[in-house]
Structure 1
Amino acid sequence: MFAGEIRRKRVQSMRSFTQWRWHLDEVFVRINGKRHDLWRAVDQQGEILESFVTKPREKAAALKFLKKAMRRHGPFKAIVTDGLKSYNAALRDLNPVGKQETGRWLNNRAENSHLPLRQRERAMQRFRQMKTLQKLSSVHAAVHNPFCQDRHLISREKYKAQPSAALVK
């Protein structure tokens, strides 16, 4: 309940901005020895927008993920992806107003967003069910975004006040 409330308030405030650059990436996760994909969308500031777990890694999964993210967060100005062909096929079906960018190091923001989840995965000694992974990834993002801000961008007073301000919002 705590994480859901924070997430709902942040999404409402972010929907008004249409100038977002999204970074999309997928990561392989093993659940009971079977390979699943965790799709993630991260905005230009490093905040995790959406997480989605699927079994196949294909156009239909990418399309479902993009529709879910656009329904919740609105349109995007530009989208940064890796070289996965599923994104191209899904974006062709959506007819996006923004442009797609693909480059060697452009997607580092999304790649680095997987690191805290990987640490949590090791602490939990892997995942047992798809449902558990989906729940953890969405709750982890909702809690991680307001509490883990970039320390180097703000003053000490503002940094110390942020955790209590996130609870008040």
Structure 2
Amino acid sequence: VCTPIDTQAITTDGLRSYGAAMNELGNREKQEVGRWANNGVENSHLPFRRRERAMLRFKQMKALQKFASVHADLHNHFSLERHLIDRKTFKERRSAAPAEWRLIAS
């Protein structure tokens, strides 16, 4: 996990393999490792990590792929992004979603 913050520094965590890779690339002096320096990089992975944890229960890749394809459709259908619309519109869409889903599923 390494992300260039600017052209002057590359922030990584303390994993030793990153240091070895930076030596090999000749960028060791640009590497920035600090206790909290990597927080921005790690926080950018949170949504991915959340999905990854949810998917750990699957033993077979086929089951995971089936779940992921169905989950994406359901999530897009029911995720109404409340913060982008007013309350009245949100409530109208939210109440219409289950009825529409029943129509699609039957």
Q: TM-score range by the shorter chain?
A: 0.3 to 0.5
TM-score by length of 1: 0.29
Q: Which has the higher contact order (CA 8 A, sep 6+)?
A: 1
> Normalized per residue, which structure has more helix?
2
- Give TM-score, length-normalised by structure 2: 0.44
More strand by share: 1
Larger radius of gyration between Structure 1 and Structure 2 = 2
